[in-house]
C-alpha cells in the first residue's frame, strides 16, 4: 500500500517544492502557492512574505520543512485568508486599518492599542492594508508570539532574552 | 540669516519628503533615496527595505522623522553601502554569504555562528546576497540591537520583555 501521504492532494505540491530532502526556498514556495491557486484573484505573495512563511515553519533553523509543517502552513494561511475575505466583501484586495485591528483582536492576541497602532503603521500602504501585507503581518505575529511563548515556560507573560537568542528569534522573520 | 539647515544640501531632500510636519512614508523615502542617487548603479531600494528604515528612526512610533534623524539615516546607510562595495569589487550588486558574516562581525555585533547562519539563510537569494537585502539586514540588525540595548540598562546582555513590549519592538521592523 502507498504511504498515506500519497492520497493527499497536498502531497504533490509538497514534493514539487521540497523534493526528497525537504529543502525549501522562498522562490519555490511562492511558485507553489501561486500554482496551487491559493492567492486566487489576489496578487501572488511577494518573495518577502514567502520568506517569513518559511521562517515560521523552520523552527530549528535548518531550512527544511516536513510535510506536516507544510500542511500546517496551508491551514494557517487559509484561516487568515478567510478572515481577510470576510472584510474584503467587494474583493478589492484591501481592507481598512481598523478591520486589521479587529482581525488581530479576534485571533486572540492581547496587544495594546500602542502596539496595534505600530503594526498598522508598518503594514499599511497609503492608509489601506493589502492582502500580501495582511498575510505577512499574520505570519510574523504568529511566529514572534510562538517564539515568545516557547520561552515563557511559566506562562507569566514575560521572557528574559539573552542578546543572541533575541537576535536569533527576530532577525529571521 | 537663514537657519543653518538651509545651507545643508540634505535639507532640500528632507523637506521634499517630510514636508513641514515631518511626516514620512516609505514610498516617499524610496523616491528620495533613488533621486538623491544613493543607490547609484544598484537597483533602487525595495519598499519593504524603506519601511524598515522608517521603523529604525521612528523610535517613538509617531511616524514622524526629524532632520537630524534623516541625516543619521543617510550616514548609517552610507557606511553600510561603503562596506558592501568593498566586498563587491566587480559591482555585480551581490556579495557572498561569508562576506556578509565578515561584515556583521566587523560592525562589532557579537552574534553566534547559529544566529549568523539564520540571518544568512534569511537574506540570501539562491546563495548570494543582493544589495537591497544586505542593507535591509543591516538596518534591521541595528534597530533590533538598539531596541535591546535601550532596555538592557545594566548592560548585562539580557533583557526581560513583557509580551506586548516584545511585539512592539519586533513587529514594526
**% chain B with pLDDT above 70:** 92
Q: Cβ distance B109 to B141 under 8 Å?
A: yes
ipTM of the complex: 0.90
Which of residues B15 and B124 earns the better pLDDT score? B124
Give the model's pLDDT for residue B63: 63
**% chain B with pLDDT above 90:** 58
Mean pLDDT score of chain B: 88
Q: Does B162 touch chain A (CB under 8 A)?
A: yes
| SS3 category, B58 | coil
The pTM (predicted TM-score) of the whole model is: 0.90
Give the model's pLDDT for residue A5: 67
Residue B23 has pLDDT above 70, yes or no: yes
Phi and psi at B18, nearest 5°, equal -95, -20
Q: Does A146 touch chain B (CB under 8 A)?
A: no
**CB half-sphere exposure, A45, CA atoms < 13 A:** 29
Distance from A9 to chain B by nearest Cα, in Å? Answer: 28
Residue A2 has pLDDT above 60, yes or no: no
Q: Cβ distance A129 to A97 under 8 Å?
A: yes
CB atoms under 10 Å from CB of B8, counted, come to 13
Is A171–B63 a contact, with Cβ atoms under 8 angstroms apart? no
Give the residue-averaged pLDDT of B97-111: 94
Q: Does A72 touch chain B (CB under 8 A)?
A: no
pLDDT band at A55; cut points 50, 70, 90: confident
A110: nearest CA partner in chain B: B164
Q: DSSP per residue over A126-138, as a string?
A: TTBEEHHHHHHHH
Mean pLDDT score of chain A: 89
**CB half-sphere exposure, B25, CA atoms < 13 A:** 8
Give the residue-averaged pLDDT of A93-105: 95
In chain A, residues with a C-beta closer than 8 Å to the C-beta of B46 are: 48
pLDDT digits (tens, 9 = 90+) for B114-130: 999 999 989 998 899 99
Give the residue-averaged pLDDT of B56-66: 73
Give the model's pLDDT for residue A4: 61
**% chain A with pLDDT above 90:** 58
Amino acid at each position: 500500500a502507498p504511504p498515506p501521504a500519497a492520497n493527499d492532494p497536498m502531497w504533490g505540491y509538497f514534493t514539487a517544492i521540497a523534493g526528497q530532502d525537504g529543502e525549501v526556498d522562498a522562490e519555490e514556495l511562492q511558485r507553489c502557492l501561486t500554482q496551487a491557486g491559493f492567492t486566487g484573484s489576489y496578487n501572488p505573495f511577494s518573495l518577502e512574505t514567502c520568506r517569513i512563511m518559511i521562517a515560521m515553519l523552520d523552527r530549528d533553523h535548518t531550512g527544511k520543512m516536513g510535510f506536516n509543517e507544510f500542511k500546517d502552513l496551508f491551514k494557517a494561511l487559509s484561516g487568515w485568508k478567510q478572515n481577510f475575505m470576510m472584510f474584503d466583501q467587494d474583493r478589492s484586495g484591501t481592507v481598512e486599518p481598523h478591520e486589521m485591528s479587529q482581525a488581530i483582536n479576534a485571533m486572540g492576541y492581547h496587544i495594546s492599542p500602542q502596539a496595534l497602532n505600530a503594526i498598522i503603521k508598518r503594514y499599511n500602504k497609503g492608509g489601506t492594508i493589502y492582502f500580501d501585507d495582511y498575510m505577512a503581518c499574520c505570519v510574523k505575529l504568529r511566529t514572534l508570539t510562538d517564539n515568545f511563548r516557547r520561552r515563557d515556560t511559566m506562562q507569566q507573560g514575560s521572557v528574559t532574552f539573552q542578546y543572541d537568542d533575541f537576535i536569533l528569534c527576530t532577525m529571521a522573520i
